[in-house]
Amino acid sequence: MSLTTLDPRTALVAIDLQNGIVGMPTQPYAGADVVARTAELADAFRDRGLPVVLVRVSFAPDFADAVPGRTERQARGLAFPEGWDTVVEELSGHAGDIRVTKHNWSAFHGTDLEVQLRRRGVTQIVLTGVATSIGVESTARDAYAHGYHVTLATDAMADSDPEAHRGSVERIFPRLGESGTTAEILELLAKTHA
């Protein structure tokens, strides 16, 4: 286990676990598995009075709030079905959870996530979600840059590109924080937040 500790004020941050994303083919875990493991973590965090943050990505129908830069692959012009940006039922329905809507890859950029965490005295975040190499990695990079301790639940995240997932987990995440499985994080949570 490479995990060392969880700070007294650690938050769970779940990235883009919403209807239109978790149903896509992902590797090395199916979206349903990522959701189930995240739900298990969320229940444990809530039981201990620790913050749970549910991040979703959404855009206005005309993409007026989307990132304007030119790229070779853009989401502009895509049609999203009704409810695609709704957080999955397995994680919804908890009034105390923090909800963040982003229009970028990172949950920090252009949102109130930083304010929400700082108001609660959070010094560490545990990250889960889809896609590993996009929303999760971007948020992990920004969390690290903002001075948070970062823990990555590597079996509670997945990507449409297995090589991109592996690159994030093996090359990037060790430079941003500590990684572990859901079971390892739950075990550490039980020891440090009894």
In a domain, 81, yes or no: no
Q: What is the C-alpha separation between 18 and 134, in angstroms, rounded?
A: 15
With residue 47 as reference, give the H or E element that holds it. helix 31-47
At residue 87, the pLDDT reads 95
What range defines the domain where residue 110 resides? Answer: 10-61+86-192
| Structural domain total, the chain | 1
CATH number at residue 96: 3.40.50.850
- Distance, in Å, from the CA atom of 160 to the CA atom of 175, rounded to the nearest integer, reads 23
The band of 79, judged by pLDDT with boundaries at 50, 70 and 90, is low
Give domain status of residue 181, yes or no.
yes
Q: Is 15 inside a domain boundary? A: yes
Considering only the C-alpha atoms of the chain, give the largest distance between any 2 of them, rounded to a whole number of Å.
49
Report pLDDT digits (tens) over 21-52.
999 999 999 999 999 999 999 999 999 999 99
Is residue 99 domain-resident? Answer: yes
Per the domain annotation, does 162 fall within a domain?
A: yes
Within a domain: residue 97?
A: yes
- Give the mean pLDDT of 6-16: 97
In a domain, 179, yes or no: yes
Tens of pLDDT, residue by residue over 155-167, are 999 999 999 999 9
Domain for residue 47, yes or no?
Answer: yes
